[in-house]
A and B are shown apart, each in its own frame.
Chain A
Amino acid sequence: MANETLAVIKTSDLTYTYPGAAKASVKDVSITIESGEFVILTGPSGCGKTTLCRCFNGLIPIFYGGKLEGEVVVAGRKVVDNSIYELAQHVGLVFQNPENQLFALSVEKDVAFGLENLAVSRDEMRKRVDWALQMTGIEELSERPPHELSGGQQQRVAIACVLAMQPEVMILDEPTSFLDPVGAQKIFEVINELNKKLGVTIILVEHRLDLASKYANHVIVMDEGKVVLDGEPRGVFNSEKARLIGVGVPKATRLYQILGESGIHLDRVPVTSEEAASLLREVFKRD
């Protein structure tokens, strides 16, 4: 049940068209995200999920221009009434390409970048930088230049950079695209820690649902600019609509579906291999 007072992001009929575009990239999106949720935002390429993310931190409409209709309220602030740097303290955005988010010549200088912009005092900055490096598990990399790091390490630095500003919400736009499965898992674990330990609301845009879905408690699926599914993971992954749109649901869920078609019913919808294994075990015991 969406509790209005706990909603950290709320949109009402959000519609956005890029400047010069023929049609809207995001159409009539009305969603509510509660504080502390771990949201997965997914959908086929071009569905508008990347555009939607940029509506939450002010890049849209300020940086990109275009036409924004409807309302977006983030951490109690109307996005259109605030500057990007003001919103940056409440909503952090981690992008797909790790390389293009790191500008400094050492990791800790990059992590401090946001704080320097906010004119935080040196002592406070030092504390927050060390804390962010620790939370993302990269303390020993603090003086290394970004070029020497692997993609996974760079992405953790990018997360630390955003974390240092201590936002309530962190949005990650396909952060594991360039990483191998082990690297991807590490990133999801870091994000999950931030969510469970610090209460940071996470919005993760992902295709790799097999690796990521076990952390989520809220899934939003978009298609052609509209939100077509919005709810808890099991229901969404198991739905007919998800299959029609072509969402790559976890194989465990797929197995559940095709077993169901053949008359074998597991008690719950699994999203991870562990869940599927234990549910199958129960079925075997029944016989």
Chain B
Amino acid sequence: MIEVKDLYFVYPTGVEALKGITLTIDDGEFLAIMGQNGAGKTTLVKHFNGLLKSTKGEVVVDGVSTREVSVAQLARKVGFVFQNPDHQLFCETVEEEVAFALRNFGFEENAIKKRVDWALNLLDVTQYRQTSPFMLSGGERKRVALASVLAWDPQVVILDEPTIGQDHQQKEKLRQFIVQLNAQKKTVIIVTHDVEFVAECNPRVVLMTEGKIVAEGLAEEILTNQKLVAQASIVPPQITQIFLGLPDLGLPTNVIDVHEARRILLDILEGAPHEHV
């Protein structure tokens, strides 16, 4: 469990990135931290594995304050997949890349071999085992980076802007993968501004703007609230926009999913009383 208690953070340059964040993330949750670029989302999650230490306030991971432990110790529990895989990849083969963190954490050789096999298989990159990561395509490098983090089986997985540059199918695969991770009782935290992606996942959403949390709740409540959305400079999902464009027809206003939308429209047109979702 991650507890953030009135967190303030100021960068050495003087920029006040976080202004009093209070948040609790339970084990096994699926959380999306949203907001425009510069809202402080990445700054916030960097506190969860100790990369950043609070200026004021506290961050407690599984009962231990992040100030009292090293990044390496926290990283054991909290895996962080950075936005750009090229900031991590440096080994001669994919296999070594995936084993890197395992070696840092002091796993023994047998365990390393088993976990590397498992992670490569999970991300469907076993065929690239002996390939140099630099020879792979962008999408493949992302998968290798993800495999290298999952290899040590952290309880929490943070994904920073995982959908950037991804095409529709890649995003769909990612969505399914996250659902799978979550089903395995892992806490998954994604930092994103991709509203359509979040609409398809429907996680708990924390909306940030200018270093503060402006709203917390289910995706379908937050992303459909016009005032909040405008305040945080994000764009509501297209389906929501369609429904918001028909206020006089008495349609429910918290629809974010296209299939849900169809169901509601069918209900109305067939004359059946629709349930207010």
Task: Assess A/B contact in the complex (Cβ within 8 A).
Answer: yes
Which A residues are within 8 Å of any B CB, using their own CB? Answer: 43-46, 96, 150-152, 174, 177-183, 185, 207, 210-211, 246-248, 250-252, 254-255, 258-259, 262, 264, 272-274, 276-278, 280-281, 283-284, 287
- Which of B15-23, B210-218, B232-240 makes up part of the contact surface? B232-240
In the complex where A44-B169, A264-B265 touch, is A281 in contact with B137 (Cβ < 8 A)? Answer: no
| Interface check B37, CB cutoff 8 A | yes
Min distance, Cβ B254 to any Cβ of chain A, angstroms = 16
Instruction: Enumerate chain B residues within 8 angstroms of A174, measured Cβ to Cβ.
Output: 165
* Contact surface of B with A, Cβ cutoff 8 Å: 36-38, 137-139, 164-172, 193-196, 233-235, 237-239, 241-243, 245-246, 249, 258-259, 261-262, 265-266, 268-269
Interchain CB contact under 8 A, B269 and A252: no
Contact B245 A259 (CB under 8 A): no
Cβ-neighbour of A44 out of B167, B242, B261, B268 (below 8 A): B167
Of the candidates A46, A185, A281, which one forms a contact with B249 in the assembled complex, judged by CB atoms under 8 Å apart? A281
Chain B residue with Cβ nearest A284: B249
Given contacts A45-B137, A207-B166, A273-B245, contact A255 B269 (CB under 8 A): no
> Lowest 5 A-B CB distances belong to which pairs?
A248-B168, A277-B245, A273-B241, A251-B238, A246-B169
Main secondary structure of the interface of B (DSSP, over half): helix
Q: Is the CB of B167 within 8 A of A252?
A: no
B258 touches A150 (CB 8 A): no
Please pick, from A177, A210, A247, the residue contacting B164 in the complex, using a CB distance under 8 A: A177
* Closest residue on chain B to residue A179 by CB atoms: B37
A182 touching B235, Cβ below 8 Å: yes
Pick from A182, A210, A248, A280: contact of B171, CB under 8 Å: A248
Question: In the assembled complex, which residues on chain B have CB atoms less than 8 Å from the CB atom of A287?
Answer: 269
Instruction: Tell which of A180, A255, A280 touches B233, judged by Cβ atoms closer than 8 Å.
Output: A180
* Alpha-carbon separation in the docked complex, A280 to B259 (Å): 15
- Among residues of B, the one whose C-beta sits closest to the C-beta of A280 is B246
Once A150-B38, A252-B238 are accepted as A-B contacts, the answer to whether A182 and B167 lie under 8 Å apart by CB is: no
**A283 contacts B164, C-beta separation under 8 Å:** no
In the complex, 16 of the A-B residue pairs with CB atoms within 8 angstroms, ordered by the A residue number, are A46-B137, A177-B164, A180-B233, A181-B195, A182-B235, A207-B168, A246-B167, A247-B168, A251-B196, A252-B242, A273-B242, A276-B245, A277-B243, A277-B245, A280-B246, A281-B249
User: Which of B37, B167, B171, B172: most chain A CB closer than 10 A?
Assistant: B167
Kindly list chain B residues whose C-beta atoms are within 8 Å of the C-beta of A185: 235
Closest chain-B Cβ to A265's Cβ sits at a distance in Å of 11
Contacts of A246 in B (CB 8 A): 167-169, 172
